Amino acid sequence: MIKQELLEILACPQCKGPVELNPESNGIVCRACGLLYPVRDDIPIMLIDEAKPLDKE
């Protein structure tokens, strides 16, 4: 599980905006860019090349 202290200092590498943990707790979401950064073994992978577009609902 990602700690809240870590989430508060993380920023999207593309737009430098705020990020949040997704509801499934398996990724970090940037709403501004519409990207989902994966979390593997409780480590956020904040690389633009690893990000996936968010599903449009």
Domain ranges of the chain: 4-53
Structure tokens at 10: 């993380």
Residue of higher predicted confidence among 15 and 2: 15
**Tell me, what's the pLDDT at 12?**
97
Please tell me the predicted confidence (pLDDT) of residue 4: 87
pTM of the full structure:
0.87
pLDDT digits (tens, 9 = 90+) for 15-56: 999 999 998 888 999 999 999 999 999 899 999 999 999 975
Report pLDDT for 56: 59
Cα–Cα distance list, 35 to 3, 29, 38, 52 (Å):
20, 6, 10, 6
Contact 1, 25 (CB under 8 A): yes
What would be the CATH architecture of the domain defined by 4-53? Single Sheet (2.20)
